[in-house]
Amino acid sequence: MSRTPTVAKLIDTTTCIGCKACEVACQEWNDHEFTMSGLGGDYQTQPDLTDSFWNLIKFNEESRDDGQLSWLMAKYQCMHCLDPGCVRACPAPGAIVILDNGIVDFNQDNCIGCGYCITGCPFDVPRLSPQTNKVYKCTLCSDRTVVGLEPACIKACPTNCLTFGTRNDLLEQAESRAQELQADGVTQAGVYNPSGVGGTNVIYVLAQADRPEAYGLPRDPRISWAVWFWKGPLKWLGNVVLLGGVLGTLLHYLRYGPRRYQDVRD
């Protein structure tokens, strides 16, 4: 139906140098306050995403079998799922919208601050602001893409490990990059585009695609069955009970009427 192509972001972790330019660009474009970096003795600026820090390079240091150290860096932000758990869970119409181009965007004007999207998200991305009592996350720069600009993080990336484009193009590009890496001897290289959430519009090329956890990515993210049951069968069950209760009592009244004295014994 839609003539607007679905847009996506490709993150090639094998060419990311962990410079954090994307983090700074995100903070600048979205006009977020300067946040002091933690001094945790590693190469991660913040411990976690916050309501005003939407894009974090996760850092993981591992010692390899050959005794060398391996530094894994992966940009972490909203994955813009094709089947977003946050949308399923949200009770406020219009608070979370899926744009024509596939971007999952929060509209804070309609957000009521219940936090159900936090429960619905399999990636633990939305953050509730204690100040505004609204939820925030990466918008994939919907305010830039709408006028034909690429997202701020991608604009700032110096190694071109971030690419913006249509989903179909980037999936192809990701596959061919993974094959190239495999041909170069990175045998475990692969694409991260988890099917449990219908695929994601943020696509990764991982050098160790067999171990996404090492990059801070869930192995097989899925919308929890609890969320599915809550918004599916349980909703119908509830409607049946409530409507049935009202209609049932009405029918009972029409059939039997009120209890009268003579109805009671003797």
Partner 1 sequence: MSEIEDKIDRFSFVERVTHWLAALSFLYAALTGLSLWSHRLYWLAPVFGGGETVQAWHPWGGLLFALTLGYMFRNWAGQMRLDREDRRWLRQAHRYAAHDDSGLPEAGRFNAGQKVLFWVQSVTTLLLLGSGVILWWPHSMTQGLRLTAILVHPVMAIVSIGAIIVHIYMGTAAIPEAFRGMTQGWVRSGWAAAHHPKWFREISKR
Which residues would be at the binding site for partner 1 (CB under 8 A)? 89, 91-93, 110, 112-116, 118-119, 124, 128, 133, 224, 226-227, 229-230, 234-235, 237-239, 241-242, 244-246, 249, 252-253, 256, 258-261, 263-265
- Angle, CA of 81, 87 and 92, to the nearest 5°: 155
* Pairwise CA distance, residues 70 & 175, whole Å: 23
Output the smallest distance, CB 149 to partner 1, in A. 32
Which is closer to partner 1, CB of 158 or CB of 233? 233
Closest to partner 1 by CB, 67 or 93: 93
Instruction: Give least dist CB 229 to partner 1, A.
Output: 7
Min separation Cβ 218 and partner 1, Å: 11
CB nearer to partner 1: pick between 5 and 115:
115
Cβ distance to partner 1 smaller for residue 42 or 48: 48
Query: Mapping DSSP to helix (H, G, I), strand (E, B) and coil, where does residue 234 land?
Result: helix
- For residue 105, give the nearest of 114, 117, 116 by alpha carbon: 117
The residue behind tokens 């484009």 is 165
- Integer Cα distance of 143 and 31 in angstroms: 13
CB of 261 to partner 1, least distance (A): 5
Judge residue 30's burial from the number of C-beta atoms within 10 Å of its C-beta, 0-12 exposed, 13-18 middle, 19 or more buried.
middle
We find the least distance from the C-beta atom of residue 197 to partner 1, in angstroms, to be: 16
**How many CB atoms sit inside 10 A of residue 117's CB?**
27
| Smaller CB separation from partner 1, 34 or 236 | 236
Q: Integer distance in angstroms from the first to the last C-alpha of the chain?
A: 71
